[in-house]
Structure formats: C-alpha cells, structure tokens
C-alpha cells in the first residue's frame, strides 16, 4: 500500500471526473438528458484511444513510473470513461427511443471504443 499511488489515483480521478462533467456540459447532456449517450460515447472512444496509446508506449519500452501509470490508467481514464453512465444511457434510450436506438448505441460504443484502442495502440507500436 503506497500513499503516493493512492494520491496519484485520486488526483487523476479528480481531473478525469471534471473532464467527464465538462464533456457532458459541452454536449448539452446535463443530468440524465437524452444527449447523455453522445457525451458517454465520446469520452469512452477518446479514453479508449488514450489507453491504447499509453499501453502501446509502455509496451514499447516507455519507462513510466508506477505512480504515473496509476494517475493515467486508473485515475484519469477510470474517471473519464464510465460503464455506469453507458448503462444508464442505454436504458434511457430503450425507454425514450426504443430498443433499436439503444442497440445501435451499444454497438457503436463497443466497436468504436475497441477500434480506438486498437488503432492508437498500433500507431505507437507500428514498425518504423
């Protein structure tokens, strides 16, 4: 148990949560609004890409201290991206716009987030 790691996660989490809230405001989502899926989709795709970049750089030999890895991967990206908001948005879409729209959102979220991760990982790991 390291207080430095806990502090790094807390600092990253605070920053990630503020960024997540800012994206909600920028998309006009507010709380529980119908634009919520756009905000959640955006942060999950971007966050997955950033995680791919980070993972690719570390796999490529970037020496990133444990506290910084915790700051970015657990704190910042953990707070920025969120599965609970994803579940809320999907459920709200089922109720307000039907199962088809909810399934489209779920499919786009999964495909785009995983593709973003893979592309960004590949970009930093591709041979020179």
**What is the model's pTM?**
0.78
Percentage of the residues of the chain whose pLDDT score is greater than 70: 94
Q: For the chain, what is the mean pLDDT?
A: 89
Q: Rounded to the nearest 5°, which phi and psi values hold at 75?
A: -75, -70
* Residue 21 tokens, joined: 């809230």
With CA atoms as reference, report the closest residue to 51 among 30, 74, 29, 34: 74
Q: What is the pLDDT of residues 45-104, one digit of tens each?
A: 999 999 989 888 988 888 999 999 999 999 999 999 978 778 878 888 998 999 999 999
Residue 27 banded pLDDT, cuts 50, 70, 90: confident
* Per-residue pLDDT, 92: 83
Cα distances from 42 to residues 59, 75, 84, in angstroms, run 26, 18, 15
Q: Count the domains in the chain.
A: 1
* Predicted local confidence at residue 116, as pLDDT: 95
Question: Domain range holding 67?
Answer: 3-125
Percent of the chain with pLDDT over 90: 59
Structure tokens at 65: 């201290």
């Amino acid at each position: 148990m390291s207080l430095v790691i806990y502090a790094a996660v807390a600092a990253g989490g605070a920053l990630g949560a503020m960024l997540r809230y800012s994206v909600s405001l920028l998309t006009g989502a507010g709380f529980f609004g119908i634009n919520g899926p756009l905000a959640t989709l955006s942060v999950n795709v971007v966050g997955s890409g950033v995680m791919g970049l980070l993972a690719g750089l570390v796999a490529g030999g970037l020496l990133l201290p444990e506290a910084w890895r915790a700051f970015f991967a657990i704190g910042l990206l953990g707070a920025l991206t969120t599965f609970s908001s994803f579940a809320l948005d999907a459920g709200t879409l089922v109720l307000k716009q039907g199962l088809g729209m909810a399934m489209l959102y779920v499919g786009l979220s999964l495909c785009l987030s995983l593709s973003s991760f893979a592309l960004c990982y590949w970009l930093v790991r591709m041979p020179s």
